[in-house]
Amino acid sequence: MTDSAIRKIVIVGGGTAGWMTAAPLALKLGKSREIVLVESPEIGTVGVGEATLPTIRYFNLALGLDGADFVRKTQATFKLGIEFKDWGHVGNRFFHGFGDFGPPIEHRSPYQYWLRLSREFKDMPSYEEWSMATAMARKHRFAPPHGDQPAASNAYSYAFHFDAGLYAAYLRDYAMRRGVARIEGMITGVEQHPDSGFITAVKLRDGRRVEGDLFIDCSGFRGLLIEGVYQAGYDDWSAMLPCNSALAVPCEKAGEPAPYTLSTARSAGWTWRIPLQHRTGNGHVYCDGFTTDEAASRVLLAGLDGRALDEPRKLRFTTGRRRKSWIKNCVAIGLSSGFLEPLESTSINIIENAVGWLLDYFPDRYCRPELADEFNRLVAQRFEFVRDFIILHYKVTRRDDSEFWRYCADMPIPDTLRHQIELFRETGRVVIHDPEGFSVASHVSILAGLGVVPKADDPLIDLMDQRKLHAHFHKVRESIARTVDAMPGHGQYLAHLTGAPPAEGLAA
């Protein structure tokens, strides 16, 4: 180890972000660096990030986690995508599945060819029938893709629903077995070097000092270090994403858990339903400028499919991101770096990315600003890409039944998103600004699901014989249906994996 090497890392805050940061650092650095995590039981964690994207499988795989043990310990269920209800217009229902709409045809999206056939054959089934994930979700079936590797080329993928508190505890045990020290205490002060401004220690209420070379701020919305010490500033995106409040409440599970998240648009926001093995997570994201907390609570509780297990817990937030997530020797990860509502389950994914980039650009004790600049560029870019995808759900709407939805239809949006919408509306093409983010199929799911019908087709698809094309689509659809019918039910698969008895009323 060189004289300039980082010797001690201090993670401020536990919860999902803190322990998702600690676990990979412990695995990668082993005992070559001292890693300490400081958390206080007096400070609650948000703990409602219970739905994920398929990238969580990369994260778990990189840690070497046992899949069955992870599912048992976190009360996890499988997630094939999100069903959207009443988005676009009341009565609308569509599915954003993890996967594509069949194999590419002559290197072009099969959706383009489906679009041509749908214009020529009025009885053409919905494009969703060529989505394996959607077909599985509709029938509550589940089996992992062949090979079950995140990088495998398959027609569908999957993620997880899990209890965020149990996942944090699972990673805490993992990290501590690999040498991470946990210190319990309330931080009341921060010490800085008089010349460089680098953080040198955090002070606890009982008088203890925790010194370090690199400080990672996982303190949540308050941004104890990144904002409290360095005043990083915050880009407020409320004008484009007006929801600023959430209520969360668990309820008793009702029957077999569905292998997908349910998102239902409401008059001033939307509600979620996330099925776990032991309970169902529910929440209502809304704008308090268009409804009251009391009315939002009534909407949430009226939509539960089981007995509420607690009183709704209220959260306030401002959508946006820190202008910088890395300043000097402080790196913000998780809610301390920014917040986007969990409409597409991106919060944990952004943590995954940030931890990965921290390892990619891991500094020495000088924490050269060029490393921070690149990290900040990547984090800012990811937040903006996800922001645009979430705004898309609100902007493309025909709902005019409430002041909230009329505002969304008229609100300003980024030029990058406007270009994406207009390109699809005019030509059926999808532009992808983030190759590592949401795919062409994901954008098609949302745009087409919300009712955007392209005015024109790709002219090159006219070169294919119509009869051959129709036969190909018929064959793929039949193959998907046969494959799904042969799969076990989602509850059956969970019971087999965890060794638990099937739920009451579940076929053996």
**Nearest in space to 252 (alpha carbons), one of 278, 213, 222:** 278
Residue 74 labelled as part of a binding site? no
Please compute Rg for the chain using Cα positions. Answer: 24
Angle (CA) 293 299 304, round 5°: 125
Do residues 383 and 437 lie in contact, with contact meaning Cβ atoms separated by under 8 Å?
no
Residue 188 labelled as part of a binding site? no
**Nearest in space to 181 (alpha carbons), one of 28, 329, 356, 10:** 10
DSSP 342-361: GGGS-HHHHHHHHHHHHHHT
Do residues 340 and 241 lie in contact, with contact meaning Cβ atoms separated by under 8 Å?
yes
Do residues 171 and 19 lie in contact, with contact meaning Cβ atoms separated by under 8 Å?
yes
Residue 14 labelled as part of a binding site? yes
Angle (CA) 480 147 68, round 5°: 105
Strand partners, 241: none
Tell me how many helices (H) and strands (E) the chain has: 14, 21
Residue 16 labelled as part of a binding site? yes
Catalytic residue from among 79, 324, 328, 395:
79
Residue 348 labelled as part of a binding site? yes
Strand partners, 189: 203
Residue 253 labelled as part of a binding site? no
Look up residue 302 and give its DSSP letter: H
Do residues 84 and 263 lie in contact, with contact meaning Cβ atoms separated by under 8 Å?
yes
**Nearest in space to 469 (alpha carbons), one of 111, 45, 76, 98:** 111
Residue 350 labelled as part of a binding site? no
Residue 489 labelled as part of a binding site? no
**Nearest in space to 65 (alpha carbons), one of 173, 209, 144, 139:** 173
For strand 280-286 and strand 269-275, is the pairing parallel, antiparallel, or unpaired?
A: antiparallel
504: CB partners within 8 A, 6+ apart: none
Angle (CA) 305 309 314, round 5°: 95
Query: Is 79 assigned a catalytic role?
Result: yes
Do residues 375 and 362 lie in contact, with contact meaning Cβ atoms separated by under 8 Å?
no
For strand 8-12 and strand 214-217, is the pairing parallel, antiparallel, or unpaired?
A: parallel
Binding residues are: 14-17, 79, 335, 344, 348
Binding residues for 7-chloro-L-tryptophan are: 79
Binding residues for FAD are: 14-17, 335, 348
Binding residues for L-tryptophan are: 344
**Residues with catalytic function:** 79
